[in-house]
Structure 1
């Protein structure tokens, strides 16, 4: 075969079929070049969605937050807590989406006079809510708990906590099961009982769902007259965090997500967030940040904290208000990221040797090792997926359990597979979404 027909990765180029008539209509109706119109058709952008794709605006793409189930009751309960000065606790996650979504909540609450208690689990503790977190909250006297980027399928832990009198609100975006935890509220666009009036809401990462919640909460506080005696926070200033978490969680940049990122990049360029400003400086980003910088420069550095460092550092930097401390943290992120790269390269090499050294029974890349760092197996799974163009599963074998991470290709819903495996008792726990999962 002519080498010019192959991509740099050795794959065969195949031209996507294009509706020439539709491309011409788009080009004429929206004054687009033929090449851009063809590209929009290839990406399956509907004719009436072209403006929202090319020029996405929050005012056009964000519906009333109350369209999501439990949003109104959650906003009303948290507004009551803010107005009464109740203690509020937050459980987040250790990846970029977890750090940014936790930070947007923390920054908002501090702006309205609440200093929330935050628990970010270590990878050793495991993903999601834990009895340890609720013990900490109970000791601190915090009975209203918000979990973000986790909690939808944490039935046992949340039900035990609810039985002890905790009021729990889950804000999440991971795949849901038919049943939900028996708690105060579960906000998740992937709830099976959502009516999907706005299908693109299901694409949101946790930080995007969290921002919708803050819009609802902010509106409720304003309607209650809270801001007559308190300064109102500028929600738009949180969009830099929303953009960062959205890009780094590798969700489709369609619908509301696209508006989040476009507007968030504008806010990030203003460098109002001291932590992000310090991280951009440490990473030697001198131009206005773009999506590449979010996904391949800032994201890996924040992720490195949860992978090989201290999981709480990510949200600590993103909430930092002291420039000296922020720069020290940013420099530490650089060092942790370098360490993460060394560990990742070692595990990737071993995984490739394993995959290519034995026959794979199924069309997947399957690798495991006893000395593989849990913090990098997700990255390695992603690289195996890219290398072989098949779903990839990478596992770290521990003395008492096996922890795994998986990355998928189009057409294979990992989130649904993990839920099915958990329901059948094949695995003890796990969760995720279409393209990525942990178990």
Structure 2
């Protein structure tokens, strides 16, 4: 319990600031008014309407990675994973790690029935699931040298040639089905031989975005970086990641969205000291304000909040941290989406399944336990997304007009008049003046 109290201290120290930003930010930035007028087929007002509006989708993006889709030994486990995911989320990160997608040159694993690679379900399989469940797919990542195949390493010209072929093939097969593409990721890590030769060149980011713009002209292009180059930096617009983005844009890179990781990959012994600045609400808000200067939407692309065990107190701590962090990020006007990383414990990077002593497994950072039961954090997230940040209203007017304020997203309307009931679907859109005329009796 003492550990949990110490971890939560940064939130408690600035609780008033945090709660103020959350309350005012969500009300101002995540909700809007919509005005509805009802007419008959001849355009005449239909008075005395009763309207029930129920929110069905969020415009804000909530998700995780989909790396364990159809990866479990038992069918009931696969079904449980798919159900848990669809119950909570509306976006998914798909694994396009080059070394695993095309381990053998010229033989990419695109098809649903491709040979299995652990935590790397084939793109066609992922897209089939996403499209069947109304989940937006997101690509990770076009040029990520940490996961470049050995055959694609060599001279700079050779690496560029291989990259262009990769971009072209992915565009031809998936550009129309995947709206958002991460172009570069984790470019501040030291240049080591496993990264190949092009990674060390000064135009790595700019060249990658120029190539992405060539092959993905209608897609949203995202830059992404590790948490340790974002949230604990107090230099604001002189921070390395900020200056990298600024330089790339000044050189013509079309960066459409700014990705930020939020992994708290610190051991329990390190956590109290190392996470304090990441859990400081004022620091978090300041960082978001800084990157908002680019006038580009921001995405939390990867998040892990460790639990370190299956201790109930530690699990409750994770839930409270997630409540605070998600709420503060959701409240900021520039934030467009938050994607958690691993949905389930025991199947994370750099460890064999179930070995909780190694790799990312050791952090117990999932939202589900290894046995597929939901942690408090997962139940909390579903409560926030589908109940707290959710609008349902019943309206009545003697005239032909009603209005309401709600969270941005799609709504089902049930409209009752003296002539009967009608159902419609509408979209409360942040980027539009939401005044609609609905024709009844069509």
TM-score with structure 1 setting the length: 0.23
More strand by share: 2
- Greater Rg by CA: 2
TM-score with structure 2 setting the length: 0.23
